Structures are given as structure tokens and as C-alpha cells.
Amino acid sequence: MAEQLEFFPIQSPCRGICQSDERGFCRGCMRSRDERFNWQSLSDVQKQDVLRLCHQRRLRKLRAAKAAAEDEPQQPTLF
């Protein structure tokens, strides 16, 4: 695959929320432990791939949270 030239360095997706969730992904940026520790040594193509994976993980987590919220019975309003 041809590597696309980037005019600006790819910034770390870190949001300063450095806590692991139940699956081992960071709650802030959704990177795995290895992805976080090796970020500086990754090529731009690898960084873009990690960013794509993080986006997919975030969407999957949001969908799961939405499905869980829909499954909960809603208490009718009294007003």
C-alpha cells in the first residue's frame, strides 16, 4: 500500500483520561496498552490504522450503551 504524505504529524488521540475499561482499552482514547506505549515508534500509516480502530471501538461502545439503555424499563412520569 502506498503511503500518503502528511503535512503535519499525526497527533496522539490521548484525552488525558488514562483509565482502562473492562476490556483493557483506555476510556479516553480507546487505544490498547500496546498502542499507547508504542505510539511514538509507529509509522504514520500505523498511527492512522490505530486511529481507525479507536473510532470503531468508540462506535461499538456507544451502540452497546444505547442498546443497554433501551433494554432498561422506563419509569412512567408522574407529571
Give the per-residue pLDDT at 3. Answer: 60
At residue 26, what are phi and psi to the nearest 5 degrees? -65, 135
Give the per-residue pLDDT at 4. Answer: 62
The domain limits of the chain are: 16-69
Per-block average pLDDT, block size 10, for the chain (79 residues)? 69 92 93 95 95 96 88 69
* Cα distances (Å, whole numbers) of residue 20 to 4, 46, 66: 32, 22, 21
Q: Please list, in sequence order, all residues whose beta carbon lies within 8 angstroms of the beta carbon of residue 9, skipping any fewer than 6 positions away.
A: 44
